[in-house]
Amino acid sequence: MIRCENIKKTFGEQEVLKGISTIFEPGKTNLIIGKSGAGKTVLLKLLVGLFAPTSGDIWYGDVNFTKLSDRERKAIRTQMGMLFQGSALFDSMTVEENVRFPLDMFTNLTKKEKQVRVDETLERVELTGSNQKYPSQLSGGMQKRVGIARAIILGPKFLFCDEPNSGLDPTTALTIDELIQGLTVEKNMTTVINTHDMNSVMEIGDHINFIDKGELAWFGNRNEVLESTDERLQDFIFASPFLQRLRDAALGKKSQSV
């Protein structure tokens, strides 16, 4: 479990996060949603330690991550995996080399053991046979799968995904969502996803943190989204008239059936 306690972050004069307190639970897909500029990416970067909070604490289990030195953080970082918005694959390495990189760097497994682990992981993300391809030869969806494979190869306890669906068509985005959710349950990981994709919210949002103007404006799950009376959340989720009509239709159907 990851716990944030009154996290604040300022850049110069600008206060980007104004005291966020929340929890991210294991075995669940925990979403951070909000408009562009709301502070989602900053919160995610604080969670993984790429930024330091101005004040407040981040707890990984019973360890206060914010108080650790760089060297002490390393132990927790080996339990983290992260999927980046642009996948962040190493261009000069093949798919196999990209996925194997954490094993090469942090384990003493034999070449054969590593190969078995890489093949299993690539099979799990449905990329069997792409071992020798370079990132530039892959589609956006395949690059995300390689990114996921690299993130989970060491069996992390914590998985972070920054906009996993950006730049993907709705069908591919859905398969990526299902893959992340499946892995989360299978490996009992604490998964934190930063997204503004509404399909993801409604499909895989076990715990949803809605950030607005640097504050945690709403917290709940995907079933509670429709019935929420929070105006800011409703304005964000059902931004278009089309989605508003869909919501009204869904709510109408629900009340009729009741």
Q: CB-wise, 93 or 174, nearer to another protein?
A: 93
Distance of CA 211 to the CA centre of its chain: 15
Q: CB-wise, 36 or 256, nearer to another protein?
A: 36
Query: Which of residues 11, 64, 86, 248 is near another protein by CB under 8 A?
Result: 86
- The total number of residues shown for the chain amounts to 258
As a whole number of angstroms, the distance between CA 47 and CA 191 comes to: 12
Query: Which of residues 4, 17, 80, 95 is near another protein by CB under 8 A?
Result: 80
Query: Which of residues 63, 68, 88, 198 is near another protein by CB under 8 A?
Result: 88
Binding mask 139-158 for another protein (x = CB under 8 A): -----------x--------
Distance of CA 25 to the CA centre of its chain: 13
**Residue 120, CA distances (Å) to 128, 132, 145, 153, 179 in order:** 9, 15, 13, 9, 15
Binding mask 50-79 for another protein (x = CB under 8 A): x----------------------xx--xx-
H helix intervals, the chain: 40-48, 70-77, 95-106, 111-124, 140-152, 170-187, 198-204, 222-227, 231-237, 241-257
Binding residues for another protein, rule: CB under 8 A, are 48-50, 73-74, 77-78, 80-82, 84-86, 88-91, 101-102, 104-106, 150, 160
